[in-house]
Amino acid sequence: MAYASGAMRSSIIAVIFLLSLAGTSSAQSLSTSFYSNSCPGVYDAVKSVMESAIAKEKRMGASILRLFFHDCFVQGCDASLLLDDTPSFRGEKTAAPNNGSARGFEVIDAIKTAVEKVCPGVVSCADILAIAARDGVVILGGPNWDVKVGRRDSTTASFNGANNNIPPPTSSLANLNSYFAAQGLSQKDMVALSGAHTIGLARCTNYRAHIYNDTNIDAAFAKKRQSGCPKTSGSGDNNLAPLDLQTPTVFENNYYKDLVSKKGLLHSDQELFNGGATDAQVESYVSSQSAFFAEFVAGMIKMGDISPLTGSHGQVRKNCRRVNN
């Protein structure tokens, strides 16, 4: 039979149509219009809390951006990081990359309260974190973009995942690439997303080895940082220094300028400009802030797409710190 009959052709088309429907419902994707009808007020609610939090403390924009990164790298962007420990539940907050360092949870609580007032039970904590991270970047002078939403919240967290998936500041370039590749992110994404370090602070314990022991660091800069970070581990561990030397509360391309002048604060930062494969990308961001902004936004959207819970998976938590009863 050379050609299917009309009837057979339409049943083949119907089968293909049903298969394609099945395909979309098992792997729903995020979209920028997910709350267009169910909660159009979510954006103003998040923005106004972020504006007052940042007016109170500029660093908060950085802290919330980092929460989003640390959430997404552990079982996807599912708000697993926001769950509190209980006697019977070990979450991610005390894992090494987060303990004593992840901050801003009370701002997320305040946003959740504001959003619940506008549309109760509709917006996930995972989406709130994604929107708040974007708003922090914008408020501090960075690029704007439409955030894809439709994530739901996990009922689980992973202490080991937080310890194993989030790159430590001692990482080499090769290690940084493998942590990001494990999340489906490229070297290009990694270098662009690291530009988040144009805002925020780090603790002495995380940069001590770099300022005392590394050679790819400007000598005067190392000395300056040593004055605020004692050599002996255990003393001054929590002393803070800006990740971007001059302007840690402004989101621009100065982080990459720091790297080119060997003034990266973390060992991992300076790895991006150390005679290797990523030097050219760093230099391109020094000469074009708009290239950095465009590639940072692309990286944020890609990071926000990591393993979301959608459809009927997970839940919309009432309180971001605990799963619903």
Ligand X SMILES: *[C@@H]1O[C@H](CO)[C@@H](O)[C@H](O)[C@H]1NC(C)=O
Q: How far is the CB of 213 from ligand X (least distance, A)?
A: 4
- Burial of residue 27 (number of CB atoms within 10 Å: 0-12, 13-18, 19+): exposed
Q: Of these partners, ligand HEM, ligand X, none, which one is at the site of residue 203 (CB under 5 to 8 Å by kind)?
A: ligand HEM
Partner whose footprint covers residue 65, from ligand X, ligand HEM, none (CB < 5 to 8 Å by kind): ligand HEM
Tell me: is residue 92 an annotated ligand-binding position: yes
Question: Residue 174 corresponds to which tokens in the numbers above?
Answer: 């090769």
Q: What are phi and psi of 289, to 5 degrees?
A: -65, -35
49 binds, among ligand HEM, ligand X, none (CB under 5 to 8 A by kind): none
Burial of 284 (0-12, 13-18, 19+ CB in 10 A): middle
Nearer of residues 114 and 209 to ligand X, judged by Cβ = 209
How distant, in Å, are the alpha carbons of 200, 201, 209, 233, 285 from that of 230? 21, 17, 11, 7, 33
Q: Is 279 annotated as a binding residue?
A: no
Token pair, residue 51, equals 């504006």
Residue 30 binds: one of ligand HEM, ligand X, none (C-beta under 5 to 8 A by kind): none
Considering 70, 210, 267, 313, which one is annotated as catalytic?
A: 70
Q: If we measure between CA atoms, which residue out of 244, 316, 242, 304 comes closest to residue 69?
A: 304
Is 46 annotated for ligand binding?
Answer: no
Dig out the tokens for 213 from the structure: 């022991």
Nearest to 113 by CA among 103, 99, 127, 123: 123
The residue among 97 and 308 lying less far from ligand X, judged by its C-beta, is: 97
Q: 218: annotated binding-site residue?
A: no
Given 10, 99, 156, 235, the residue binding ligand X (CB under 6 A)? 99
Scanning residues 3 to 62, which ones bind ligand X (CB under 6 A)? none
Which residues contact ligand HEM by CB under 6 A? 59, 62-63, 65-66, 69, 101, 103, 167-169, 171, 176, 190, 193-194, 196-197, 199-203, 206, 243, 266, 268
C-alpha 262, offset from chain centre: 25
Q: Does 94 bind ligand X (CB under 6 A)?
A: yes
Positions in 214-233 near ligand X (CB under 6 A): 231
CA distance 316 to 122: 7
d(CA 148, CA 196): 19
Annotated binding residue at 167?
yes
Residue 74 assigned as binding residue: yes
- Continuous segment of H or E residues that includes residue 12: helix 6-26
At 5, list the tokens.
Answer: 């009959």
Amino acid occupying residue 282? V
Stretch that binds ligand X, among 33-41, 64-72, 208-216, 287-295 (CB under 6 A): 208-216
Q: Is 70 a catalytic residue?
A: yes
Q: Which does 69 bind (CB under 5 to 8 A by kind): ligand X, ligand HEM, none?
A: ligand HEM
What amino acid positions are annotated as catalytic residues? 70
Catalog residues that contact ligand X under the rule CB under 6 A: 94, 99-100, 208-209, 212-213, 231
**Which residues does the annotation place in the binding site?**
71, 74, 76, 78, 80, 92, 167, 197-198, 244, 247
Residue ranges at the known binding site for Ca(2+): 71, 74, 76, 78, 80, 92, 198, 244, 247
